[in-house]
Homo-oligomer: A and B are copies of this chain.
Amino acid sequence: MNLTQSPMGKLILSVLLILLTSFYCFGQQAKYVFYFIGDGMGPAHVATTEAYLAATEDEIGFQKLSFTNFPATGFATTYAENRLITGSAAAGTALAAGQKTTINTIGMNADRSKNFKSIAEEARDNGFKVGIISSVSIDHATPASFYAHQPTRSMYYEISLDLPKSGFDFFGGGGFADPYKDNSVSTSVFEIAGLSGYTITSTRATFDSLQPGHGKIIAMGTKLESSGALPYAIDQNDADIPLEEFVDKAIAILDNENGFFIVCEEGKIDWAAHANDGASVIQNVISLSMSVEEALEFYYQHPDETLIVVTADHETGGLSMGSSRMKYDSDLKLLGKQKISFQNFSYLVDSVLVKKGEDKPTFEFVMGLVDAYFGLGGTNGSPLSEEELEIFYQAYLHSIGEVSSLNGINYGGYNPIAVTTTDILNQRAGIGWNSYSHTALPVPVFAIGVGHEMFNGYYDNTDIPKKIAEIMGMQNWSSGELK
């Protein structure tokens, strides 16, 4: 029977819709909310990942991620109070507090005279358990915007001290960027958080042992970068706790009859995009997709009480699935030849190049690394043209300090060899970048669960937490002054 065609089908559909409608209008609210933020993730980052996944199976097309099948889709503008192209602090504050603010401001109004109350703080005051997760340091701008109130995002230590004050139940992912305030204080944020009742874990064993009833938790990755971030997804190995495990753990710890509110940021999509490192962007978008998968598993058990929203704070890099070099062609599968992140490759190149007073490694040696880790040139990789080799050679000269500035090329401030390598690989794969910075492009919004319809449309990023608060039954939340 065709439900939309036959009279009986229409009758059945109508009755079902009437029941659903009544149910919705008479108090359907989200008790469990997941708020995922892909930092720097524009529509192109999502689509390129999907097309890459299809390409690895030799298919032309798009392989859906966990969240791109969600029934609701929208676009959100991201501009800051004082700049069309936003930053993570102003954008994080918009997503957390539903208010525009100035660049670099965390959880405060534009002139930094008042604190906004974030939706996470409101959720806490309404009896929800709250979890904040990030793949970069937990005091980084995006996660910080949900619990901290500081005039500038670079005040990492002060931001980290706001963390235990929040009283949120779970923090997970990265560690702290500046736990000792550049060694100027004797009491680290670890001790202060400990005194406030937080259990802090940084090993697999202690992480695995975490259970409900352990009190408030700060669960950090086992191997953090100097920035306090988890390694790039492309660089992680079995010893690392991937982002999705933090989501899984948060669900286990926070699940309770009063509900929970979990924020999870995949922050390294942005970092990889700043460096125009396409392969690392893709692996971190996959990391986000797998984290959303954990939330979806929970959703399937509680479909009438759960809401999952996936969005971004801004687009980074002006990514495009098309490059001037490849014109109408693409070879996305090539990105699979990249073995380590741009960042790790930079460390590697720096470690062999920057040895003052010693003999520098030869150009051939450096190109051997490019071949080994990116499959470009040499015996294993795709051959390099003479023009490409010349571009590499200029980068080499720049790297070893023989030339300080070449034709105005500054390599975006990144390691010249590394940035040249990813640039050539990306161009050959058929993806292009416009900038090493953020852009003002609207970001996508995907939603499933209670009230998901509200996320269809084209709106502003400040509307997103307002919609979520309404669906959580927190209509009284006004993102004004902190009480």
Residue numbers of A with Cβ under 8 A of B are: 4-5, 10-11, 13-14, 17-18, 21-22, 25-26, 43-44, 47, 51, 55, 60-62, 64, 68-75, 77, 79-85, 87, 315, 318-324, 327-330, 332, 387, 408, 412, 430, 432-442, 444, 446, 453, 456-458, 470, 475
Contacts and interface: CB of A to CB of B under 8 A. Distances in A.
Contacts of A453: 456
A444 B322 contact: no
A328 B14 contact: no
B68 A83 contact: no
Contacts of A74: 73
Contacts of A18: 17-18, 21-22
A397 B318 CA distance: 31
B328 A87 contact: yes
A135 B188 CA distance: 65
A461 to B, nearest CB: 11
A87 B21 CA distance: 43
Nearest to A432: B434
A84 B321 contact: yes
B10 A322 contact: no
A130 to B, nearest CB: 25
A434 B320 contact: yes
A324 B22 contact: no
A440 B47 contact: yes
A25 B21 contact: no
A95 B446 CA distance: 24
B43 A85 contact: no
Contact of A440 (B4, B330, B433, B442): B330
A85 B434 contact: no
A436 to B, nearest CB: 7
Contact of A321 (B11, B85, B323, B324): B85
Copies of this chain, tallied across the complex: 2
B328 A85 contact: yes
A328 B78 CA distance: 13
A408 B325 CA distance: 11
B458 A73 contact: yes
B62 A83 contact: no
A407 B437 CA distance: 27
Given A18-B18, A318-B321, 20 more contacts: A13-B25, A18-B22, A43-B441, A44-B441, A47-B77, A60-B81, A61-B79, A61-B84, A62-B77, A68-B458, A70-B457, A73-B456, A85-B430, A318-B432, A322-B434, A322-B438, A322-B441, A323-B435, A330-B440, A432-B435
A444 B438 CA distance: 21
A38 to B, nearest CB: 15
A44 B17 CA distance: 37
Nearest to A77: B62
B62 A441 contact: no
Given A10-B25, A21-B18, A60-B84, A47 B456 contact: no
B437 A434 contact: no
Contacts of A68: 458
Contacts of A60: 79-84
Nearest to A276: B324
Nearest to A42: B43
Contact of A434 (B4, B17, B81, B434): B434
Contacts of A408: 387
B71 A456 contact: yes
Nearest to A324: B435
Contacts of A318: 318, 320-323, 432, 434
Nearest to A325: B435
A475 B5 contact: yes
A330 B434 contact: no
Contacts of A83: 60, 328-329
A439 B326 CA distance: 10
Nearest to A9: B25
B21 A17 contact: yes
Nearest to A47: B442
A71 B457 contact: yes
A43 B324 contact: no
A11 B68 CA distance: 34
Contacts of A5: 475
Q: Which 10 A-B pairs have the closest CB atoms?
A: A318-B320, A322-B439, A432-B434, A320-B434, A321-B440, A17-B21, A456-B456, A10-B25, A327-B437, A84-B330
A435 B73 contact: no
A321 B441 CA distance: 6
